[in-house]
């Protein structure tokens, strides 16, 4: 019973966050990618949204024996997913590596914006090898967008970072 109650709290919080992301993802993605691909995001759950808590409880009860044998629960918010769509088609089916990386970065920036509003301070961004699959246009757009954030970027090509950031913002680490 408690698992379904807490699962419903997590589910509702995630739905709210994804709904917020959905209102901003297209504009931000288009700004970073500098193209007109229509990008959207949706929350995917195998449990119907209507009466989520009781539906989850029913599914947990029905699958208790199988879940015990497997060693994990097969239903709940931990099994839900986030789907990014490009022009209405799941990005996993159509996106290039650069497009997928840009979509991921877009979600990370949206997450940072939520944290900034919630905590009333800009978060520190740690980005690992973000430039490797981005073309010059996307690199330039990303670095321009990140100028207001304290950002640590790892890369195997320091020339890329120096090219896109002013010398006052780049501190090379060897």
Domains of the chain: 2-94 (1.20.1050.90)
Among 51, 112, 108, 56, which Cα is nearest to 80's?
Answer: 56
Angle between helices 52-62 and 2-33 (to 10 degrees): 120
Q: What is the DSSP letter of 146?
A: G
Full pLDDT tens readout for the chain, 174 residues? 788 999 999 999 999 999 999 999 999 999 999 889 999 999 999 999 899 999 999 999 999 999 999 999 999 999 999 999 999 999 999 999 999 999 999 999 999 999 999 999 999 999 888 888 888 888 888 988 888 888 888 888 766 666 656 544 555 555
Residue 3 phi/psi, 5-degree rounding, is -60, -40
Contacts of residue 171, Cβ cutoff 8 Å, sequence gap at least 6: none
CB distance 68 to 22 below 8 Å: no
Radius of gyration of the CA atoms of the chain, in A: 20
Where do runs of H (alpha helix) occur along the chain?
Answer: 2-33, 52-62, 64-70, 91-94, 97-119, 136-145, 158-164
- Kind of pairing, strands 89-90 and 81-86? antiparallel
Q: How many residues does the chain have?
A: 174
pTM of the model: 0.84
CB distance 164 to 140 below 8 Å: yes
Residue 156 phi/psi, 5-degree rounding, is -95, -5
CB distance 41 to 82 below 8 Å: yes
């Amino acid at each position: 019973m408690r698992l379904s109650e807490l699962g419903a709290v997590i589910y509702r919080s995630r739905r709210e966050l994804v709904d917020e992301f959905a209102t901003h993802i297209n504009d931000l993605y288009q700004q970073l990618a500098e193209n007109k691909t229509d990008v959207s995001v949706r929350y995917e759950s195998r449990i119907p949204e209507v009466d989520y808590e009781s539906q989850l409880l029913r599914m947990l009860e029905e699958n208790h024996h199988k879940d015990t044998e497997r060693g994990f629960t097969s239903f709940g918010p931990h099994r839900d997913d986030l789907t990014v769509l490009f022009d209405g088609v799941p990005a996993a089916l159509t996106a290039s590596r650069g497009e997928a990386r840009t979509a991921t970065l877009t979600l990370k920036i949206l997450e940072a914006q939520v944290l900034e509003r919630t905590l009333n301070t800009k978060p520190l961004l740690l980005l690992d090898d973000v430039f490797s699959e981005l073309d010059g246009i996307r690199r330039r757009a990303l670095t321009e967008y990140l100028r207001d954030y304290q950002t640590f970027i790892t890369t195997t090509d320091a020339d890329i970072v120096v090219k896109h950031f002013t010398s006052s913002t780049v501190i090379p680490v060897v």
